């Protein structure tokens, strides 16, 4: 069977790309005799990850096209369509698009339909705040998407409603596919905790806040800078480490400098050892303006971290009892008070080791993806010889 997966972004160790890697690693491990191609609209930011895909027998094609402006830029649309037509000449059996970008999604489904692909899966991975004008255009495209997709999938109910509407997720087309992780990899590690904390010069008893994600507006890292500034004014000694890269790095750096927080906030950049940094943290923060079911919040819970998430993030991500949803439109005080409460509570990192078991039991381990592949693709189980 020929299977094409599609994503609007880059090959990089983040979000949807990592989900796709895990999904395909399971697919190639347990379901033999499939020819798999993955088309990324943008480029290759992580060559080792590209090699990991290819080591599983997966062909990677990167379009090299800008991520922004799919709907507004005719040249961009035409280039994407040209790429897809070339791939779809190979009589693809399944097209599985993993995206929250509505304009791009509609292009992919249109080309798949014209190529007579029998199974066309639209897999929603999030939602975006929309302007009135943008929502009008997107509502029109969503009608097309719901008609052209033969199956709907989503990492959360909110992501599904954003793409398919309330009727869509109540229809027979809908499949809930949780964002899954390798829970064993993210299990708390006390030794790695000490190493990473030593790297940034923070003591064993000091409070380390952490965030993981793109440095983009939707992640709302600027809010976290204000939180740390307020903590400093209250003489609460803490550091914040932000793992990730993005277009706002200069803007955030300037704000940190202007607020004289260079010794309190570390823009660490890209890290291939995110699990070690989660072990190093004491509290995980995610004040996002909008999310579906964020993979990084699942990873943080597997590491046993107390998690403070914005109230714009679906509670479908709530696995651990140590998770709170806080408002982001009422200033930083409620966040500061919650951090103080955790800071003053008794800390026992030994208990964090068992949190991964809880995430596994809740069905968020990537071993559960085998059943989802069967449900979506209709494949027969056939274990390969790969380790």
What are 322's two structure tokens?
A: 């140590």
Whether 234 and 309 map to the same domain: the answer is yes
What pLDDT is stored for residue 18 in this prediction?
A: 87
> Of 53-57, 132-136, 155-159, 317-321, where does mean pLDDT reach its minimum?
132-136
pLDDT band at residue 381 using 50, 70 and 90 as cut-offs: low
Total tally of structural domains belonging to the chain: 2
Q: Which residue, among 286, 313, 284, 326, has the nearest Cα to 301 in the 3D structure?
A: 284
Asked whether residue 386 is domain-assigned, the answer is no
CA distance 52 to 340: 42
Q: What is the pLDDT of residues 155-189, one digit of tens each?
A: 888 889 999 999 999 999 999 998 888 999 999 99
Whether the predicted pLDDT of 33 surpasses 90? no
Mean pLDDT within 311-321: 91
Asked whether residue 100 is domain-assigned, the answer is yes
What is the value of pTM for the model shown?
Answer: 0.81
Residue 82's contacts (CB-CB under 8 Å, 6 or more residues apart) are none
Whether 68 and 140 map to the same domain: the answer is yes
Instruction: Please state, for a pLDDT cut of 70, what percent of the chain lies above it.
Output: 94
Asked whether residue 384 is domain-assigned, the answer is no
Residue 315's contacts (CB-CB under 8 Å, 6 or more residues apart) are 325
Whether 372 and 292 map to the same domain: the answer is no
> 349 with 192: CB under 8 angstroms?
no
What pLDDT is stored for residue 224 in this prediction?
A: 98
Whether 346 and 254 map to the same domain: the answer is yes
Q: What is the pLDDT of residues 336-362, one digit of tens each?
A: 999 999 988 866 677 899 999 999 999
Asked whether residue 271 is domain-assigned, the answer is yes
Whether 39 and 75 map to the same domain: the answer is yes
pLDDT band at residue 385 using 50, 70 and 90 as cut-offs: very low
What pLDDT is stored for residue 61 in this prediction?
A: 97
Asked whether residue 220 is domain-assigned, the answer is yes
Whether 124 and 231 map to the same domain: the answer is no
Whether 20 and 102 map to the same domain: the answer is yes
Whether 217 and 331 map to the same domain: the answer is yes
Asked whether residue 387 is domain-assigned, the answer is no
Whether 215 and 265 map to the same domain: the answer is yes
Asked whether residue 84 is domain-assigned, the answer is yes
Whether the predicted pLDDT of 204 surpasses 80? no
Greater confidence (214 vs 114) lies with 114
Whether 373 and 343 map to the same domain: the answer is no
Neighbours of 132 (CB within 10 A): 6
> 10 with 246: CB under 8 angstroms?
no
CA distance 162 to 314: 12
> Biggest alpha carbon distance in the chain?
64
Asked whether residue 185 is domain-assigned, the answer is no
Mean pLDDT within 315-327: 94
- The domain of 172 spans 2-180+365-377
CATH of the domain at 354: 3.40.50.2000
Q: What is the pLDDT of residues 254-281, one digit of tens each?
A: 999 999 999 999 999 989 899 999 999 9
What pLDDT is stored for residue 75 in this prediction?
A: 87
What pLDDT is stored for residue 30 in this prediction?
A: 87
What pLDDT is stored for residue 72 in this prediction?
A: 65
Whether 172 and 253 map to the same domain: the answer is no
Whether 172 and 230 map to the same domain: the answer is no
Question: What does the mean pLDDT of the chain come to?
Answer: 91
Mean pLDDT within 78-95: 94
Separation of first and last alpha carbons in the chain: 22
CA distance 39 to 334: 43
Instruction: Please state, for a pLDDT cut of 90, what percent of the chain lies above it.
Output: 68
Whether the predicted pLDDT of 387 surpasses 90? no
What pLDDT is stored for residue 346 in this prediction?
A: 67
What pLDDT is stored for residue 350 in this prediction?
A: 76
């Amino acid at each position: 069977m020929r299977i094409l997966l599609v994503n609007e972004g880059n090959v990089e160790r983040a979000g949807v790309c990592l989900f796709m890697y895990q999904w395909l690693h399971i697919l190639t491990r347990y379901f033999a005799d499939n020819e798999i191609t993955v088309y990324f609209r943008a480029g290759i930011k992580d060559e080792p990850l590209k090699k990991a895909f290819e080591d599983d027998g997966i062909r990677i094609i990167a379009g090299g096209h800008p991520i922004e402006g799919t709907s507004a830029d005719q040249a961009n649309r035409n280039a994407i369509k040209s790429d897809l037509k070339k791939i779809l000449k190979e009589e693809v059996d399944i097209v599985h698009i993993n995206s929250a970008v509505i304009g791009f999604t509609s292009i992919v489904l249109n080309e798949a339909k014209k190529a007579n692909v029998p199974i066309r899966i639209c897999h929603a991975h999030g939602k975006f705040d929309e302007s009135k004008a943008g929502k009008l255009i997107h509502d029109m495209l969503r009608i097309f998407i719901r008609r052209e997709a033969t199956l709907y999938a989503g990492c959360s109910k909110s992501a599904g409603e954003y793409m398919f509407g309330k009727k869509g997720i109540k229809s027979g087309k809908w499949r809930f596919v949780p964002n899954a992780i390798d829970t064993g990899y993210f299990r708390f590690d006390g030794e790695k905790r000490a190493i990473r904390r030593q790297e940034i010069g923070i003591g064993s008893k000091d409070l380390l806040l952490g965030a993981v994600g793109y440095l983009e507006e939707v992640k709302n890292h600027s809010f976290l800078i204000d939180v740390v500034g307020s903590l400093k004014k209250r003489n609460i000694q803490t550091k914040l480490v932000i793992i990730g890269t993005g277009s706002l790095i200069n803007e955030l750096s300037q704000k940190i400098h202007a607020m004289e927080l260079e010794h309190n906030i570390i823009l660490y950049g890209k890290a291939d050892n995110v699990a070690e940094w989660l072990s190093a943290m004491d509290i995980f923060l995610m004040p996002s303006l909008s999310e579906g079911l964020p993979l990084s919040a699942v990873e943080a819970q597997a590491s046993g971290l107390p998690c403070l998430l914005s109230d714009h993030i679906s509670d479908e991500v709530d696995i651990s009892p140590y998770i709170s949803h806080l408002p982001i439109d009422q200033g930083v005080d409620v966040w500061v008070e919650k951090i103080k409460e955790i800071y003053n509570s008794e800390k026992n990192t030994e208990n964090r080791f068992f949190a991964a078991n809880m995430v596994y039991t809740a069905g968020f381990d990537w071993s559960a993806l085998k059943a989802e592949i069967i449900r979506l693709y209709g494949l027969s189980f056939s274990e390969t010889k790969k380790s």
